[in-house]
Amino acid sequence: MSEIVRPYGDTTGDGMVQLSFTLPLPHDKRAEGAALQLAAKMGMDPAMLVHAKQMGDGFTFFVVYGRVGHLVDVSKVEVVERSYPLLSAKEVNAVVKRRLRRKLSVVGACIGDDAHTVGIDAILNVKGIAGEKGLEYYRELKVTNLGAQVTVPELIAAAQRERADAVLVSQVVTQRDAHLHNTREMSAAFREALPAGRRPLLVVGGPRFDETMAGELGVDRIFGRGTTPGEVASYLVHALLADKEVAA
């Protein structure tokens, strides 16, 4: 059964949305008119300009607010649902110790020119994120954080040296789809360097990834914004020990 919904702004079902964007124009009346014209072409009718600010030389940031006539059929939305149990740190440790009988080796990095380590650090570092400790806190996980701007050959070398069961890569820089290019390059390099039976689990994450693109990008799993260390740890246990019991 389909479930049709429309955007909510001031009242239920009014179809109102807020949109932000930047135009390569200095802030003046002409630029504001161009912003409203763009919003109208995108289906906002009427479109109201609620914010405009000069952003450097020759660029203006806009926020527009208006009504759209588009509907969403929720029954046709495709997402990647979590298909594995969410385990506590204690449960993850117990499963790894009992089933793997050695520490699970994880190597993490930001590859290419990406120098934004906030994502990978939130998952790996002991301090974690939002009160949840990172994978370094898990006593049965051996974590190697390579940091930022790691080349693919360096990542592969580290994975081999650490006998990695899983490689976690964070990509925040997305200009010109750099995150997609880097991920494809990495997955292809791992396939070339290591046979299937010795290849670590490849996991990437970042705010601009589409979680449904794992197969297309050649990785085992994609995590989007808001991912917690516990989700990643639970996935690693599920994926690496899929043929074994994962409940502690």
Distance between CA atoms of 211 and 181, rounded to whole angstroms?
16
The SS3 call for residue 137 is helix
Cβ-contact 128, 229 below 8 angstroms? yes
Question: How many residues comprise the chain?
Answer: 248
The order of strands in the sheet holding 141-145 is: 141-145, 104-110, 166-170, 201-205, 221-223
Identity (one letter) of the amino acid at 194? L
Give the Cα-Cα-Cα angle 206, 154, 173 (nearest 5 degrees).
Answer: 25
Distance between CA atoms of 235 and 229, rounded to whole angstroms?
10
Other CB atoms within 10 Å distance of the CB of residue 44: 22
Catalytic residue among 41, 97, 103, 127: 127
Distance between CA atoms of 2 and 193, rounded to whole angstroms?
46
Other CB atoms within 10 Å distance of the CB of residue 134: 25
Distance between CA atoms of 26 and 54, rounded to whole angstroms?
7
Nearest to 64 by CA among 89, 86, 88, 43: 43
Active site residue 90: no
Direct distance between the N- and C-terminal alpha carbons of the chain, in angstroms, rounded to an integer: 38
User: Active-site positions?
Assistant: 127
